[in-house]
């Protein structure tokens, strides 16, 4: 098995750029911020990413022998498009209504609105 430097470099660049600012990195920042052991957080997240990548590479190799590469790429693209569309639609909806026990949301609520003074 020979090392293909160009494949290694393109895979590294793609995964590195894809992981910047995603929810995994945000989770790592959150966990690291609540811990005084950043080395343990790094080690745990690195092992998790390596194992997830191993599963993806193994599944991709197996699937590509059964399903044409173009179909796999189309399915992956469609999945990302579906997820992105759902996230956009979810975040474009109306803001959740304020609960009775929540903090005031508008200037009228902050000033006391139509309520008589106490």
Kindly report the pTM of this predicted structure. 0.50
Nearest to 109 by CA among 94, 97, 91: 97
- The pLDDT of residue 15: 85
Residues 35 and 41 sit within 8 Å (Cβ to Cβ) = yes
The confidence score (pLDDT) of residue 97 equals 63
pLDDT at 1: 53
Q: What is the pLDDT of residue 37?
A: 94
Q: What is the pLDDT of residue 48?
A: 93
Higher pLDDT, residue 56 or 103:
56
Q: How many whole angstroms separate alpha carbon 53 and alpha carbon 33?
A: 25
Q: Where is 5: in which H helix or E strand?
A: helix 5-19
For position 99, what pLDDT does the model report? 56
| Predicted confidence (pLDDT) per residue in 58-106, tens digit | 887 787 788 888 888 898 899 889 988 988 888 887 766 655 555 555 5
Tell me the CB-side half-sphere exposure of residue 41, using CA atoms within 13 A. Answer: 15
Please, where are the H alpha helices in 20-94?
Answer: 23-33, 38-66, 69-92
Residue 115 CA to chain centroid, in angstroms?
A: 44
How far apart are alpha carbons 40 and 10 in whole angstroms?
Answer: 28
Average pLDDT, the chain: 79
Rounded average pLDDT over 19-35: 85
Q: What is the mean pLDDT of residues 41-45?
A: 94
């Amino acid at each position: 098995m020979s090392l293909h430097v160009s494949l290694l470099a393109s895979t590294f660049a793609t995964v590195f750029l894809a992981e910047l600012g995603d929810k995994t990195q945000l989770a790592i920042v959150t966990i690291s911020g609540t811990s005084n052991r950043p080395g343990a957080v790094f080690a745990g997240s690195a092992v998790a990413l390596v194992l997830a990548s191993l599963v993806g590479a193994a599944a991709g190799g197996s699937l590509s022998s059964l399903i044409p590469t173009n179909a796999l790429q189309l399915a992956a693209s469609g999945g990302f498009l579906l997820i992105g569309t759902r996230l956009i639609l979810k975040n474009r909806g109306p803001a959740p209504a304020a609960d009775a026990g929540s903090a005031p949301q508008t200037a009228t609520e902050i000033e006391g609105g139509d309520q008589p003074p106490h």
